Structure 1
Amino acid sequence: MAGQPLSQSVRTRWSALPAAARIGILYLAARVVTTIFLVAAAELSGPASRFGADAGIGDLILAWDAQWYWYTAENGYPSTLPLTDEGLVAENQWAFMPIYAYLARLVGLPFGSWGVGALLVSLVAGYFACLVFYRMLRGRQDVGTATWATLFLAAGPLAALFQVGYAESLFLLWLFLSLRCLLERRYGWLYLLIPLMGYTRPGVLAFALLLALYGIWRWFRRRAEPLPAREIVHIVALGVLALAVGFSWQLLAGAVTGDPGAYLATELAWRRNWIADAQPVFVPFDGFVQAAQFWFTAWNLDPALGVVAMVVCVLAAAALLLFEPHVRRLGVELRLWVASYLVYLLAVFFPQSSLFRLLVPVSPLWGAVAMPRSRLWRSGVLLLCLAGQWWWIYNMYALANTYWQIP
């Protein structure tokens, strides 16, 4: 019997803590688990791994794209595009936006290390991203649902991104702030947040699509919820700003290099790692079609079935956003964001193992996953999150020895 009052006391004290402290405790606990996983992955790294038998956790934190961000911070962007032996544009810094790279360099100056700066930026941005995420969901969900959803985000399958040299955690911070501003009709801050998103990592064009769909939705329900002229001006202006920011990097790369197609050619250079004879010209939605055929061929299946599977997945995603009751309870704005981002990925991306990482911006869906109040359900989801996190870290960092083990 004594255990019950003690348990009640712990719950009371937990509930009395400020949200920032509660989310901070959960985030810190999640980072401890991720650190254990990364240390274990470094210990399991062998001679066949990209990182070798003597890998340490620092090697993993600064691996893969983190090397590109470091190289960008140290060397800037090339005015002459590097070429392959075949005369095609090779991989280069233009594929990586500048804010994370240079912010990590600035933060790392007192430590004399870009890597320390990158780790700190990712960790701090990840905490604030989780806190904003909680408060964004709390506006429409109960405390328990918002807390569990935030825990799923902090400890999810891709949670290692909160403490490696990738721009995702910083992008999530800008994104969640932007979505919260949209939910609360606080448009003024978006004039700052949209450029921050756009120059942290690709994806701001999805936000432009969100604003277009949001404006249409608001217009058709203007009798139920008035749509003042001031809001119309903000929505249109912000949509134009997001479009301008989204395409400005292509224009800047073209101006610096003298090649109008410099940015798209740079992005396509990565696609040739999977399809050697990939088209040298970007065609919207072509990447998913090519990938569907590529992967089904690799699995010794009919490549035509890959296209069918892709269509089925698109229809399933649409049905989820339109009809699944827990997702519907997230609200129209968050559902429109998820739909916009998935359309953006469908248009520009070639699906490979990085797809897991690129799906992180649809994290508002954790709010729907957390809605069932069953303790068994929520505990089971958390265990699956941790299992998925270990699977991802083990493959991408401990093994890291084949073409589908790239984060």
Structure 2
Amino acid sequence: MAGDKLTTAVPASRLAAGRTALRIAAIYVAARVVTTLFLFAATELSGFTSRMGADARLGDTVVAWDGMWYWTVAVSGYPGQLPLTDAGQVAENAWAFLPLYPHLAQWVSLPFGQWSAGALIVSLVAGYAASVALYHLLRIRLDESATLWAVAFFASGPLAALFHVGYAEALNLVWLFCALLAVARRRYVWLYALIPLMAFTRPGVLAFALFLALFGIWRWFTRAREPLRGPEIAHIVTAGLLAAVAGFAWQVIAGWVTGNPDAYLATEMAWRRNWILGDATFTPLEPFLVGVSYWFETMWHLPIALGYALVGGGLLLIAAALIWLPQVRRLGIEVRLWSASYLVYLLLVFFPQSSIFRLLVPLSPLWGAFAVPRSPVWRVGVLLACLAGQWWWIYNMYALGSTNWQVP
């Protein structure tokens, strides 16, 4: 009898998983149709001053902006010698872009003969995989309805165009959500594969190292509630060290290939010169402080003290939400600690400009907090706000894309 129950339970479990996958697929496909229409409208509205030009086509959106750099990596690789500007400074080059996404897209593109086709397929498939992983991450704490709504917000969010273009974000979200799921389920062995995948897809794995450190501290102080055994400690410490080493690996590789130990940072500074003229240096937190000064004093002609007050107040509100807001607390300690870790990482390394919207996408598990209220009016309102934000972003970054605050 026990064997019969087990035999019956396994197909039932698989059937339930299949139904969930189909529900997520229906949500995701519907969202992709809407995004495609938005991108098509953006190409129709693109003019002579736009980054894509007056004769833009839908396929051009795949390789626009950073998509062109990923294509360069796929077809030409990385320069052995850093290119220089006329002023002798390191120029923008491919070392700013990690290799996993462009080469995977190149492999997928082989039957089609165009890298853009492979990039589109990888981004679309990765977006669906990320949606499934996000569902399973949030389903640990939320009911079925709230979880599916959270997936709908994610699939239709303001940055949903990233599932259509030649950017590495969608692929990185797959690894990230799976890694958070592995931690939430205490299946740490998966991290030894997922952390290197993250490290060579998108910058940011150092934030995951911080997350594991904070998570290990939290586990220690809650060990009376949930026993903390030696193997778990070993996994958390080892995976955290792996994430820290992996976070610096690309810098070491770039320095070794080019013969310039500072190759990666110098390359990143080349992009900052699009906003800040002259030599640029890097120390933790310095890019953020310089960015506040640039936007408030130089661009908006406002007192820098106001900028610091607004930014500081905003950070305090975010911290308060992560600690005390009931809807956020419902998501679990893993999502909250990850969100805090990633925000600290951005604060330490990022020069704030219009790409901040894209760089906030790893915080997508927080969509679960917006799905917790059961009111249909609230949930539909959030979805409509997502679609409105998505059109605003696509219109500015692809139809216009002509000023320093219209860079995706």
Q: Secondary structure of 1:222's match?
A: coil
Does the Cα contact within 8 Å between 1:167 and 1:200 map onto a contact in 2?
yes
Aligned to 1:169: 170
Q: Secondary structure of 2:216's match?
A: helix
Aligned to 1:283: 283
Quickly say closer, same or farther: Cα 1:219–1:388, change in 2 above 3 A. same
Q: Is 1:379 aligned to residue 380 of structure 2? A: yes
Q: Secondary structure of 2:404's match?
A: coil
Aligned to 1:29: 30
1:253 & 1:48 partners in 2: Cα distance? 35
Aligned to 1:53: 54
Paired amino acid for 2:294 = F
C-alpha displacement at 1:102, in angstroms?
0.3
Does the Cα contact within 8 Å between 1:271 and 1:278 map onto a contact in 2?
no
Deviations 1:31-50 (A, max 9, x none): 00000000000000111211
Paired amino acid for 1:178 = A
Paired amino acid for 1:132 = A
1:312 & 1:84 partners in 2: Cα distance? 39
Q: Where do 4+ consecutive residues of structure 1 move more than 4 Å?
A: none
Aligned to 2:263: 262
Aligned to 1:129: 130
Does the Cα contact within 8 Å between 1:353 and 1:406 map onto a contact in 2?
yes
1:234 & 1:99 partners in 2: Cα distance? 25
C-alpha displacement at 1:234, in angstroms?
0.4
Quickly say closer, same or farther: Cα 1:223–1:303, change in 2 above 3 A. same
Q: Which moved more, 1:297-306 or 1:207-216?
A: 297-306
TM-score (norm 2): 0.95
Q: Is 1:81 aligned to residue 82 of structure 2? A: yes
C-alpha displacement at 1:206, in angstroms?
0.4
Percentage of pairs with the same residue = 62
Aligned to 1:233: 234
Paired amino acid for 1:180 = L
C-alpha displacement at 1:109, in angstroms?
0.7
Paired amino acid for 2:221 = F
C-alpha displacement at 1:17, in angstroms?
6.8
Deviations 1:12-66 (A, max 9, x none): xxx9971000000110000000000000000001112111111111111210000
Aligned to 2:339: 338
Paired amino acid for 2:197 = L
The 5 Å alignment of 1:207-218 reads 207-218=208-219
Paired amino acid for 2:199 = G
C-alpha displacement at 1:263, in angstroms?
0.5
C-alpha displacement at 1:278, in angstroms?
4.7
C-alpha displacement at 1:128, in angstroms?
0.7
The 5 Å alignment of 1:3-402 reads 18-279=19-280, 281-297=281-297, 298-402=299-403
Deviations 1:314-353 (A, max 9, x none): 2111111111110011111110000000000011100100
C-alpha displacement at 1:161, in angstroms?
0.3
1:16 & 1:72 partners in 2: Cα distance? 38
Quickly say closer, same or farther: Cα 1:131–1:260, change in 2 above 3 A. same
Deviations 1:359-405 (A, max 9, x none): 00000110001100000000000000000000000000001111110
TM-score (norm 1): 0.95
Deviations 1:131-190 (A, max 9, x none): 110111111110000000000000000000011110000000000000000000001111
Does the Cα contact within 8 Å between 1:293 and 1:304 map onto a contact in 2?
no
1:68 & 1:135 partners in 2: Cα distance? 33
Paired amino acid for 1:169 = A
2:259 & 2:300 partners in 1: Cα distance? 41
1:137 & 1:303 partners in 2: Cα distance? 39
Does the Cα contact within 8 Å between 1:198 and 1:245 map onto a contact in 2?
yes
C-alpha displacement at 1:303, in angstroms?
2.2
1:86 & 1:316 partners in 2: Cα distance? 43
C-alpha displacement at 1:277, in angstroms?
2.8
2:288 & 2:314 partners in 1: Cα distance? 11
1:80 & 1:61 partners in 2: Cα distance? 28
Structure 2: gaps spanning 5 or more residues: 1-15
Q: Once superposed, what is the RMSD of the aligned Cα atoms?
A: 1.1
2:200 & 2:101 partners in 1: Cα distance? 8
1:135 & 1:209 partners in 2: Cα distance? 23
Deviations 1:63-114 (A, max 9, x none): 0000000001111111100111111111111100000010000000111111
Paired amino acid for 1:353 = S
